[in-house]
Chains A and B, each alone.
Chain A
Amino acid sequence: MRRRRLLLAVAQHSLLIVAAIAFLAPFVFILLTSLMTTNQALSADLWPHPFRFRNFIDVFTTAPLWRWTLNTMLYSCLATIGVLVSSVPVAYALARIRWRGRNLAFMIVLIALMLPPQVSVVPLYVMWAKLHLVGTLWPLIIPNWFGDAFSIFLLRQFFLTIPEDYLDAARVDGCGELRILFTVVTRLAKPAIAAVALFSFLYTFNDFFLPLLYVGENSDNWVLSIGLAQFRSLHQVQWNLTMAATLLVMAPVIILFFLAQRAFVEGVTLTGVKG
């Protein structure tokens, strides 16, 4: 019996290891190719010989990577701030204040969550075109300042879990509803706010469809996702540089994940809301 258990455990772990290797392999191949010479990247070789670390410098001189990064940061940061500033009050009103039509309003948020973005994209494009803003980053940023359905939903769910006693204590101290929101609630909801900020940042960083629509024609305002997709047509057959750029675009997200993982755990344990 014990031997069978052991065998089973070994079998399961070897399956896991095989699957893990398969999952890591694409990263490894991208990394190895990014270190090859241009000619070697076109051959069937898998191992770089010699290692060409200069690729990661050349990438910056052959493509305006800094400019794309700057545009991406502008889009991601301004959009994320907007999502937070606009969604927190809405989520609070939906979670902690009772008013007629609240359930209906929440239903509409849920429906908006399910709506495919392609459905509204044509009239919105026409609208931004009439405002002469197609080609700029504004059509990407501005809508985020008017509440984001997913963030409102997530924040509302979290606000519902905050014990009423905490808010009552603040009310007894003479806090107005707005001050409660901006001091007590935002402090208690730090993990949820951090999560929303992180998701919003990742979403905008990865976003391709809307940037393609609005800044695709104006290469001055390209973000990383657009630039990367165009990279190969700008630099024919240079797979090594393309893979170096690919890796550089992946890096911030993965670094952010490792940094934020700890911040999340800390946030959840610190507030004591969930404990």
Chain B
Amino acid sequence: MTDQVLGTAGVRAPAVPLRTAARRRADWRRRRLVLLLMSPWIVGFTVFFAYPLVMSAYLSFNHYDLLSPPRWVGWANYHYLLRVDPQTWIAVRNTLWMIVVAVPLQVLFAFWIAALLARAKSGGGFFRTVFYLPALAPPVAATLGFVYILNPATGPLNTMLGWIGIEGPLWFQSPHWSKPALVGLGLWGVGNTMVIFLAAVLDVPQHLYESAELDGAGPFQRLRWVTLPIVSPVILFAVVLGVIQGLQYFTQAYVAASIASGQASQAGDTLNALGYPEDSTLFYPVLLYQHGFNDFQMGYASSMAMLLLIVSFAVTLVIVLNSRRWVHQAVPN
């Protein structure tokens, strides 16, 4: 029904067929309207999406430093990226580490809090706000706060750990603890995922729990066979989003490394802090930034960008395709 109405963009189909000229004029007018409405996106798509994508692919086969014109080098950038550059694999390993550890932890943690909140009899609104607030904190500010709280010598966390006789780790000063500290920062800002999970958990029909209970299902079984299947599409969404964000992880790593390294060298020199300490926070986008905008190796950075593009799409595709096995579908197909 709507299709018919929409088909003529508001002009209802007349009872008597129009003469073709008039219809053609109406068609033309509608096409002009669509073109007018779509024009911002058409320009935006061409200039800020299609052009850079094609250009990125082209530049990835060139040596380009912004000063002299691009020089064709064939596959040299890719060869160097994948075979020679030792930093590539450090960055890939760090990024993988972050995704494999942080994404499941965040999903579990968000789900746990959402499940607790869903059952809370009182104060639900208050708790929801408390758990959501950190997600609102601007990433730079949140990171700065964490670097201070986790600063090894006098930071509040290690001070409090000291009270109970634990010598806290060096956190952002230690190559072993810098990534766990970033994971902690991510868990603090888990509010967005938590809110989505909460809405999904609250959406589970109560009668399903009741009939499961009648069938003798314990709390764990109810969670496994009632809640999880119904919430699974939302979990898929959170996982895909988490992986995509993990591949783009930049701001927190950049800020934490630059602040923590400044702390280590009080003289305030301009040493290259990216990846501090010992390349442990050198994630793929950080390395891309370093090559592209510190060293101005635009061609090489483009080859990194193309690899990121391919990996992003491949990973998303694999997750979504695999999900058919574990994501519950309301409509059988």
The interface of chain A, by Cβ under 8 A from chain B, is 9, 12-13, 15-16, 19-20, 23-24, 26-27, 29-30, 33, 42-44, 46, 85-87, 89-90, 92-93, 96-99, 105, 108-109, 112, 114-127, 129, 143, 145-147, 152, 164, 167-168, 171, 177-178, 180-181, 202, 205-206, 208-209, 212-213, 224-225, 228-229, 231-233, 236-237, 239, 242-243, 246-247, 249-250, 253-254, 257
Add 6 more A-B contacts to A119-B309, A126-B64, A250-B142 (CB < 8 A): A12-B119, A16-B116, A46-B160, A116-B309, A177-B33, A205-B138
CA distance A99 to B41 in the complex (A): 16
Known: A86-B40, A93-B38, A177-B9. A232 touches B116 (CB 8 A): no
Q: Which residues of B contact A243 (CB under 8 A)?
A: 144-145, 148
B41 touches A122 (CB 8 A): no
B127 touches A (CB below 8 Å): yes
B316 touches A97 (CB 8 A): no
Other-chain contact of B120, A13, A44, A212 (Cβ < 8 Å): A13
Q: Which residues of B contact A90 (CB under 8 A)?
A: 37-38, 40-41
Other-chain contact of B131, A19, A85, A143, A146 (Cβ < 8 Å): A19
A123 touches B6 (CB 8 A): no
- A223: min CB distance to chain B, Å: 10
B238 touches A (CB below 8 Å): no
- For this complex, into which size category does the number of interface residues on chain B fall? 35 or more
- B40: min CB distance to chain A, Å: 4
Known: A16-B117, A26-B134, A119-B305. A147 touches B41 (CB 8 A): yes
Contact mask for chain B residues 20-36; partner A; CB cutoff 8 A; 1 contact, 0 none:
00000000001101101
CA distance A118 to B248 in the complex (A): 8
B193 touches A (CB below 8 Å): no
Interface hub of B45, B146, B153 (most chain A Cβ within 10 A): B45
Q: Which residues of A contact B207 (CB under 8 A)?
A: none
Q: Which residues of A contact B55 (CB under 8 A)?
A: 122-123, 126
Q: Which residues of B contact A205 (CB under 8 A)?
A: 138
B10 touches A (CB below 8 Å): yes
Other-chain contact of A120, B52, B160, B288 (Cβ < 8 Å): B52
Other-chain contact of B292, A16, A46, A117, A122 (Cβ < 8 Å): A122
A242 touches B144 (CB 8 A): yes
CA distance A181 to B10 in the complex (A): 12
Closest CB pairs A-B (n = 10)? A146-B44, A120-B52, A123-B55, A86-B40, A93-B37, A147-B41, A89-B37, A123-B52, A208-B251, A98-B6
Known: A208-B139, A250-B137. A122 touches B302 (CB 8 A): yes
Dominant secondary structure at the B interface: helix
B244 touches A (CB below 8 Å): yes
Interface residues of B in 123-160 (CB under 8 A from A): 123, 127, 130-131, 133-134, 136-142, 144-146, 148-149, 153-154, 156, 159-160
CA distance A146 to B40 in the complex (A): 4
A147 touches B40 (CB 8 A): yes
- B189: min CB distance to chain A, Å: 10
Q: Which residues of B contact A229 (CB under 8 A)?
A: 140, 144, 254-255, 258-259
B226 touches A (CB below 8 Å): no
Interface hub of B40, B149, B247, B250 (most chain A Cβ within 10 A): B40
A16 touches B5 (CB 8 A): no
B130 touches A171 (CB 8 A): no
A44 touches B52 (CB 8 A): no
B59 touches A (CB below 8 Å): yes
B49 touches A250 (CB 8 A): no
CA distance A243 to B151 in the complex (A): 13
Other-chain contact of B154, A44, A125, A145 (Cβ < 8 Å): A44
A98 touches B9 (CB 8 A): yes
CA distance A233 to B45 in the complex (A): 39
CA distance A233 to B273 in the complex (A): 12
A152 touches B41 (CB 8 A): yes
Q: Which residues of A contact B7 (CB under 8 A)?
A: 98
Q: Which residues of A contact B153 (CB under 8 A)?
A: 44
Q: Which residues of B contact A168 (CB under 8 A)?
A: 5, 10
Known: A98-B9, A99-B34, A147-B44. A242 touches B148 (CB 8 A): yes
B237 touches A (CB below 8 Å): no
B68 touches A (CB below 8 Å): no
- A210: min CB distance to chain B, Å: 11
B131 touches A177 (CB 8 A): no
B120 touches A26 (CB 8 A): no
- A152: min CB distance to chain B, Å: 7
Known: A122-B298, A249-B140, A253-B138. A98 touches B56 (CB 8 A): no
Interface residues of B in 286-333 (CB under 8 A from A): 288-289, 292-293, 298, 301-302, 305-306, 308-309, 312-313, 316
Interface residues of B in 1-25 (CB under 8 A from A): 2-3, 5-7, 9-10, 12
25 CB-based A-B contacts, threshold 8 Å: A16-B117, A23-B130, A89-B38, A97-B6, A97-B30, A97-B37, A98-B6, A98-B7, A99-B30, A115-B309, A120-B305, A122-B52, A122-B55, A124-B52, A126-B64, A146-B47, A147-B40, A171-B12, A177-B9, A209-B251, A213-B293, A224-B138, A229-B254, A239-B148, A249-B141
